[in-house]
Amino acid sequence: MTHDSTDWLCINTIRTLAMDAVEQAHSGHPGAPMALAPVAYQLWQQELRYDPTQPIWPNRDRFVLSNGHASMLLYALLHLAGSRRVTSEYTVEDQVAIGLEDIKKFRQLDSSTPGHPEYRWTSGVETTTGPLGQGVANSVGMAIAGRWLAGHFNRPGFELFDYDVWAICGDGDLMEGVASEAASLAGHLKLPNLCWVYDSNRISIDGSTDLAFTEDVGKRFEAYGWRVLHVADANDLDALSQAFRTFKQDRGLPTLIIVTTQIGYGAPKKQGSASAHGEPLGAEEIKGAKRKYGWPEDGQFLVPEGVRERFAQRVGERGRKLRTEWEARFAEYQKKHPELAEHLTRMQKRELPEGWDKELPVFPADAKGVATRESSGKVLNALAKNYPWLVGGSADLNPSTKTFLTFSGAMKPGDQTGRNIHFGVREHAMGSIINGLALSKVRPYSATFLIFSEYERPPIRLSAIMELPAIHIFTHDSIGLGEDGPTHQPVEQLPSLRSIPGLIVLRPGDANEVTEAWKVIAPLRHQPVVLVLTRQAVPTLDRTKYAPASGVAKGAYVLSDSKGTPDVILIGTGSEVSLCLQAQEQLEGQGVKARVVSMPSWELFEQQDEAYREQVLPSGVHARVAVEKASTFGWERFVGLRGAVVGMRSFGASAPLKALQQKFGFTVENVVKVAREVIEQAKK
């Protein structure tokens, strides 16, 4: 590919914008953008299929900056390309996402240029890449989605999906375990549309990476089943072009391109040093770097004539041509494959298909009951049959989590057309990968035991930050799993998950509450959800005797009421709901009026208006008891200072379930005892 002086003018514009923005903010990471500017520029100009005027075109290439501290690299690219702003309702506005004034407000309050790229905050940012390793793991989900979309929607003469996923990553990304998990799965699946570009500058915050990171990364990735390419100098545009073309032309495996870079390239004293990583360069270093680039020393936030035009001529024109051709092809596709076209349109807006809930099961009353993981498996399979883009899997626990879609095949090496994903024992990457799937508008779910939510917590938090409708299914939800003991018995996980802003936690109490929980989950467009399920059987309640399970939609509801104002309110979740009902029956036999409230979701309940919340938990009734096989932390907001919680105040123990229930007080007798105590306390 022929290069000219305008190419270097563009590259140095990226570098100087990054230096100036960090310096003005007195905060940031200038070194990586200075080093990576040629790499990112060459990729965008030569290969990236992206239309800045329509930045959410479905078949665009995805560009992920996984080393998100280098955010000014991405902001400069989006600014120079003139990428447009997109609203939360997926409409494109005739306004740039990042203007020059936005770059001048780098890292400032309410700016569109935060310290790390944030999905939703800044149009053109494909994912939030704060914690290292998350971006590359997300990219694996995006690549899986691309392959699945192709298998599901492409038809002869209509290749709607053939996009590639490009991720730039650094030493820190590849030190993180989540990147290793994700890379291992990508290699196993032989994802041909995935390319990671590794910024190998061998510098971290502490200093040289030789302090802690001396492995041969290339050999590691070859062992994962990746193709590994090398570029010896980040400023060698021809070598970069050759590497990108090799990835595009020689398909069959995911590709890692190792590019040797010099952090802070051009800075006279700080080039190649840790001091160029995470702090402003200082005025004199900036002047020296600008002299190296042939730049006006005092020119700040300078975009020379011809730079924006070059971006428009290359990435802009190529993207617009590919996008308009795609739209014309899709118009014909709508005529020949109207149902599939409608599905794709709904997917892009995160809308449900017609008739998605028509076969959801209703479970008959059964005193013996069924584990909620079992009923959830039945509901999930019924739902998925009428929800064609619901895709997911478990971390090697399908027999236990009951999350395998029995009517569909599984994804396998070279073929990602199935709807079941075998993630292997890779909980952290699993969560990150389903975020990548959600970012690609596939509706994903993952599944493992609740105790292993600890491994999945970082991507759960990020799904909440990004407002992604990811579904995180957790079974074996309490000490109820018995003999596996404290290491496997979740205690503090429920309150911990409930503390994440924007996350909905649902712990249904019987099979029909499970069905209603899925009715809540399916329509969500901008909220992730955690569905918490039992290993052990719980009674399926007789809904002719108790309130309808549809109350789940409001987070809490009066399941069984007393005659007249209750003396005490018993609040239960999950498997403890039936325990509350048994305690209510015994209390009534003792002349105590007890109300039972099922509260599967704190978050949904708190979204209800004050009148409804007062109706369920009247403020005049101070005697309240919450019953949950989890840490008592947080229940004060519902039971008040005079109430009590029957819960866990220690870790569990290894024993059969009945012995554990007796030891930790989850018995009818203890709940009744505590209820009578709070009634007496409320009288004082």
Summarize pLDDT for 500-521 with one digit per residue, the tens: 999 999 999 999 999 999 999 9
Summarize pLDDT for 64-108 with one digit per residue, the tens: 999 999 999 999 999 999 999 999 888 999 999 999 999 999 999
Strands 194-200 and 165-170: parallel
* Cβ atoms within 10 Å of 275's Cβ, excluding its own: 18
Enumerate the active-site residues: 427
Q: How confident is the model at residue 465 (pLDDT cuts 50, 70, 90)?
A: very high
Distance (Å) of CA 478 to CA 35, 566, 651: 50, 29, 11
Summarize pLDDT for 307-319 with one digit per residue, the tens: 999 999 999 999 9
φ, ψ of residue 231 to 5 degrees: the values are -125, 120
User: What is the token pair recorded at 61?
Assistant: 């290439």
The CA-CA-CA angle for residues 200, 202, 206, to 5°, reads: 140
**What's the pLDDT score for residue 258?**
98
CB 447 within 8 A of CB 474: yes
Distance (Å) of CA 4 to CA 8, 51, 261, 348: 7, 23, 21, 39
DSSP output for 427-471: HHHHHHHHHHHHHTT-EEEEEEEGGGHHHHHHHHHHHHHTT---E
* Cβ atoms within 10 Å of 649's Cβ, excluding its own: 11
**Averaged pLDDT score across all residues of the chain:** 97
Summarize pLDDT for 585-632 with one digit per residue, the tens: 999 999 999 999 999 999 999 999 999 999 999 999 999 999 999 999
Q: How confident is the model at residue 214 (pLDDT cuts 50, 70, 90)?
A: very high
Please report, as a single letter, which amino acid is at residue 249.
Q
pLDDT at 455 exceeding the cut of 90: yes
Strands 207-208 and 203-204: antiparallel
Mean pLDDT on 204-208 = 92
* Cβ atoms within 10 Å of 26's Cβ, excluding its own: 9
**What's the pLDDT score for residue 88?**
84
Mean pLDDT on 417-431 = 98
What gap in Å lies between CA 78 and CA 298, rounded to an integer?
24
Comparing C-alpha atoms, which of 197, 309, 264 is closest to residue 23?
Answer: 264
What sign does the dihedral 222-225-227-229 (CA atoms) show? negative
Residues forming beta bridges with residue 447, ordered by sequence position: 394, 473
pLDDT at 381 exceeding the cut of 60: yes
CB 199 within 8 A of CB 32: yes
Mean pLDDT on 120-146 = 97
**What's the pLDDT score for residue 2?**
67
Among residues of the chain, what percentage have pLDDT more than 90?
A: 98
Lookup result for tokens 């970069």: 240
**What's the pLDDT score for residue 83?**
97
